[in-house]
Each structure stands twice: as structure tokens, then as C-alpha cells.
């Protein structure tokens, strides 16, 4: 009668390696592969450093970059995009203001696209930036941060090539 | 039994030897990259400044940093800073910056190092994060630079620095008007 009873795996072994070591290893390898693919090609966790995108994205806050967001379409005006620097460990987070072929300028904080005033609903304070007109090339976008209280001289803004935009913020 | 045991160990010994040879080969192949990497790390540490740094220590650090450059480098740091073409001018500029700022903390966020086939020159693209404290106020910036290296008497020296502008600033910002 005792021969029919299945031998019980010790409880600590069940916790550490599961009931079957081979199955656990297989699952662990699959999970690792899934995570490598997910966090290299789909979602990139990032932490905001600096105040150029405040109040939308605060210094020190964590977000996820959707690396597929711009894979099949071009960036849209008003969208926050992620721009790669040297590698993937340092990225810019900026809002798209001007699209290819457009002429972008600022007058006393007012964004002007092709001679027309453009509203920026995402801003709480539009600041007082004044910039002469910049005409964008065929694959160029004009980007800037949301924190317009920062003096123009120390704010990173300007034109960026489409190929440097690697994705968008998930949330 | 001894023979069986020896046979059992042989594949592991071969694998271990192959791993050691591979590691040694890769290290040998990347020796210039590793040297540049170490030099960059020393430079980064030298750039940092504690709040209690004396003027003499600041001068010594400035000379140390300038010593990593060739005699007549081309240093362009951005639209608001003057271009420098002389090691001594560079040391003076670094010393001035160090005495003006209360604290400096730097970290290299990302880098790529490419050594030319003749191993006499190299290019490094860097994303450097700098945090500066000035009169109880602070600022943090990530800036990208391209460093051009030249080998002089077996040592890797910096002969050129220029900002990499992924986001190209508009004319007025560039000119600082």
C-alpha cells in the first residue's frame, strides 16, 4: 500500500527549485529571455534627472519608455518623445513642438509655427522666451522641455533628427 | 578508475583553458580601450570637487587634468565658453571654474570608445552628468562630448574636445545673445 504513495519533495526544495529541477530551469531561462527582450526592445525603465520637463515629469520620478511607440509612425506635435544620446543609459525627454518643413519661432513665450500662434495646453507657465525663426529640414523636429521658467540659455531645446527619437513615455 | 576520472575532467579542463585563452585574447585586443577607460575614470575623479578644497589643491587638480591633454589641444566646450588651444590656458580655465563653483560632482552616464586600426588615434563619445553647487544653489546637466585621442610616447592624450549636439540649439541660443 505504501508503494503507491508518491514520494514527497522536501518543502525547502520545492521553494528553491520547485518539484522538478529541469522544468524550473527551463522556466527560468524562458523568463530571463522574455525579460531581456522586453526591457531591451519594448519597455525601458528610466528615471528623470533634472527639471527641464517640470511640472509634467518631476526630477527623480520613474517612468517607462515605450520603444515601439515610434516604430511604425512619426512623432506628433505635443507628444513627449525620448531622444537617445551616446548610448541608451542617458536619454533626453522632450516635447515635440515643430514638425519637418515647418518654421518655428518664439515671441515672448508664445510658440509660433509657420507664422501662426500655436497653443500649448500642456504648459502651466509659458515663460518669456524669444527666438528667431528656425526652418526645419525634411527629417528634423523642433523639441523643447515644459519648464519654460528655465532661462533659454541653460535649457536644451532645438532641432533633432528623426532617427535619434527612440520612443515615447508610456505613462 | 583513475583513467575514467581523468577522462571526466578533460572536457572541463579544455573548457577552462579555452575560457582563459579567450579572456586573455579579448583583454589583449581591448588593451587600448581599457587604458582609455581608466584614463577617463581618473579624469572624472579629478574633475570632482569637494566643498572644502583649497586653492592650492584646486590648482594641482587643474594641472593634473590639463596634463591629460596634448600640448596644443583643440577644446570647444559649447557656445558660452571660449575655445581653448593651449594646455596652459586650459589649466587656467579649469582652475577658474573650480574656484568659482563650490562643489562639482561628475559621472559618466554612457560612452563609446573606438580605436583606429593603426592604434595611434581614438575617438570617445561621452554623456557626462555634472552636478554643480554654487552659493547654495545647484544645477545638474547631462552633456555629450566627443573626445579625440592621440597616442604620444605610448600614452593616450586628449587632443580634441567638442560638444555633440544631438539637439541642435537654435542660432540665438548658440550665440548667447
- State ipTM: 0.74
- Give the residue from A59, A83, A90, A108 with the most B CB atoms within 10 Å of its CB, the best one to mutate: A90
Any idea where the domains of chain B sit in the sequence?
Answer: 34-175
Domain limits, chain A: 9-40, 43-169
Q: Which residues of B touch A130 (CB under 8 A)?
A: 172
With an 8 Å Cβ cutoff, are A85 and B110 in contact? yes
pLDDT at residue B89, rounded to an integer: 93
A164 has a chain B CB within 8 A of its CB: yes
* Distance, CA of A92 to CA of B168 (rounded, Å): 13
Instruction: Give every residue of chain B whose pLDDT is below 70, as ranges.
Output: 1-8, 79, 172-177
Identify the CA nearest to B172 among candidates A107, A80, A83, A53.
Answer: A107
Chain A interface includes B172 (CB < 8 A):
yes
A139/chain B closest Cα distance in angstroms: 13
- pLDDT of A153 > 90? The answer is no
In CATH terms, the superfamily for domain A43-169 is Umud Fragment, subunit A (2.10.109.10)
- Report how far apart, in Å, the C-alpha atoms of B173 and of each of A158, B9, B28, B151 are: 9, 68, 45, 36
What confidence score (pLDDT) does residue B84 get? 93
> Cβ distance B174 to A167 under 8 Å?
no
The answer to whether residues B94 and B158 touch, using CB atoms and an 8 Å cutoff, is no
Q: Which residue of A has its CA nearest to B138?
A: A50
Q: Per DSSP, which regions of chain B are E strands?
A: 69-75, 103-115, 121-134, 137-152, 155-163
- The alpha carbon of residue A84 is apart from the nearest alpha carbon of chain B, in Å, by 8
Which residues 110-139 of B have a C-beta within 8 angstroms of A?
110-112, 125-127, 129, 139
d(CA B114, CA B149): 10
d(CA A51, CA A54): 5
- State how far residue B112 is from chain A, nearest Cα, in angstroms: 7
Chain A positions in Cβ-Cβ contact with residue B170 (cut-off 8 Å): 131-132, 134, 157-159
Contact criterion met (CB below 8 Å) for A147 and A54: yes
User: Which residue would you say has higher pLDDT here, A87 or A150?
Assistant: A150
Q: Are A134 and A104 in contact (CB under 8 A)?
A: yes
Residues sharing a CB contact under 8 Å with residue A11, sequence separation 6 or more, in sequence order:
none
Alpha-carbon distance A10 to nearest alpha carbon in chain B (angstroms): 31
Q: How far is B165 from chain A (nearest CA, A)?
A: 9
* Low-confidence winner among A6-20, A36-50, A141-155, B51-65 (lowest mean pLDDT): A6-20
Does residue A126 sit at the B interface (CB-CB below 8 Å)?
no
Contact B172 A158 (CB under 8 A): no
Q: Which of B126, B127, B168 sits opposite A159 (nearest CB)?
A: B168
For the cut 80, the answer to whether the pLDDT of residue A88 exceeds it is no
Pairwise CB contact (< 8 Å): B170 & A157:
yes
Cα gap B142→B156, rounded to integer Å: 25
The Cα of B37 is separated from the nearest Cα of chain A by a number of Å equal to: 15
Please report, to the nearest 10 degrees, the dihedral formed by the alpha carbons of residues B48, B51, B57, B61 taken in order: 10
Q: What is the largest CA-CA distance in chain A?
A: 92
Instruction: Please give the grid coordinates belonging to residue A85.
Output: 544620446
In the prediction, which pLDDT does A122 show?
87
- A160-171, pLDDT tens digit by residue? 999 999 999 886
Q: Does the CB of A152 have a partner CB in chain B at under 8 Å?
A: yes
- Mean pLDDT, chain A, rounded, equals 88
Q: What is the mean pLDDT of residues A59-72?
A: 92
pLDDT(A17) > 80: no
- Pick among 3.30.360.10, 3.10.450.50, 3.20.20.370, 3.60.10.10: CATH of B34-175: 3.10.450.50
H/E stretch holding A66 reads strand A62-66
For A164, residues 6+ apart whose C-beta sits below 8 A from its C-beta are A83, A84, B166
Are B110 and A131 a contacting pair at CB < 8 A? no
Report the pLDDT value the prediction gives residue B173, as an integer from 0 to 100: 56
In terms of DSSP bridges, do strands B155-163 and B69-75 run parallel, antiparallel, or are they unpaired?
Answer: parallel
| Straight-line distance from the first to the last Cα atom of chain B, in angstroms, rounded to the nearest whole number | 86
Query: In terms of residues, how long is chain B?
Result: 177
Segment A112-144, tens digit of pLDDT: 999 999 999 988 888 899 999 999 999 999 999
SS percent in chain A: helix, strand, coil, step 5: 20, 30, 45
Cβ-based contacts of A132 with chain B (< 8 Å): 170-172
Amino acid at each position: 500500500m505504501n508503494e503507491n504513495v508518491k514520494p514527497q519533495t522536501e518543502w525547502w526544495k520545492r521553494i528553491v527549485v520547485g518539484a522538478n529541477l529541469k522544468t524550473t530551469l527551463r522556466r527560468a531561462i524562458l523568463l530571463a529571455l522574455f525579460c531581456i527582450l522586453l526591457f531591451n526592445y519594448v519597455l525601458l525603465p528610466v528615471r528623470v534627472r533634472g527639471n527641464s520637463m517640470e511640472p509634467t515629469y518631476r526630477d527623480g520620478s520613474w517612468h517607462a519608455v515605450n520603444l515601439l511607440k515610434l516604430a511604425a509612425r512619426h512623432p506628433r506635435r505635443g507628444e513627449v518623445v525620448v531622444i537617445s544620446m551616446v548610448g541608451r543609459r542617458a536619454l533626453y525627454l522632450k516635447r515635440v513642438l515643430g514638425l519637418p518643413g515647418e518654421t518655428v519661432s518664439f515671441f515672448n513665450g508664445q510658440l509660433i509655427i509657420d507664422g501662426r500662434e500655436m497653443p500649448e495646453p500642456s504648459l502651466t507657465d509659458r515663460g518669456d522666451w524669444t527666438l528667431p525663426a528656425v526652418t526645419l529640414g525634411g527629417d528634423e523636429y523642433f523639441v523643447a522641455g515644459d519648464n519654460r521658467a528655465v532661462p533659454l540659455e541653460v535649457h536644451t531645446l532645438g532641432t533633432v533628427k528623426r532617427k535619434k527619437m527612440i520612443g515615447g513615455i508610456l505613462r | 578508475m583513475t583513467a575514467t576520472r581523468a577522462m571526466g575532467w578533460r572536457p572541463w579542463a579544455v573548457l577552462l583553458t579555452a575560457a582563459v585563452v579567450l579572456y586573455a585574447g579579448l583583454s589583449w585586443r581591448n588593451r587600448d580601450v581599457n587604458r582609455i577607460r581608466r584614463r577617463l575614470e581618473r579624469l572624472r575623479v579629478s574633475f570632482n570637487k569637494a566643498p572644502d578644497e583649497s586653492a592650492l589643491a584646486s590648482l594641482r587638480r587643474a594641472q593634473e587634468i590639463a596634463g591629460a591633454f596634448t600640448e596644443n589641444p583643440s577644446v570647444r566646450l559649447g557656445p558660452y565658453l571660449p575655445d581653448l588651444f593651449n594646455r596652459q590656458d586650459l589649466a587656467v580655465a579649469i582652475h577658474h571654474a573650480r574656484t568659482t563653483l563650490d562643489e562639482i560632482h561628475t559621472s559618466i552616464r554612457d560612452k563609446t570608445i573606438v580605436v583606429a586600426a593603426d592604434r595611434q588615434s581614438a575617438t570617445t563619445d561621452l554623456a557626462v552628468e555634472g552636478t554643480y553647487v554654487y552659493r547654495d544653489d545647484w544645477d545638474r546637466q547631462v552633456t555629450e562630448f566627443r573626445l579625440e585621442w592621440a597616442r604620444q610616447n605610448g600614452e593616450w592624450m586628449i587632443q580634441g574636445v567638442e560638444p555633440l549636439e544631438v539637439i541642435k540649439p537654435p542660432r540665438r541660443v548658440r550665440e548667447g545673445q
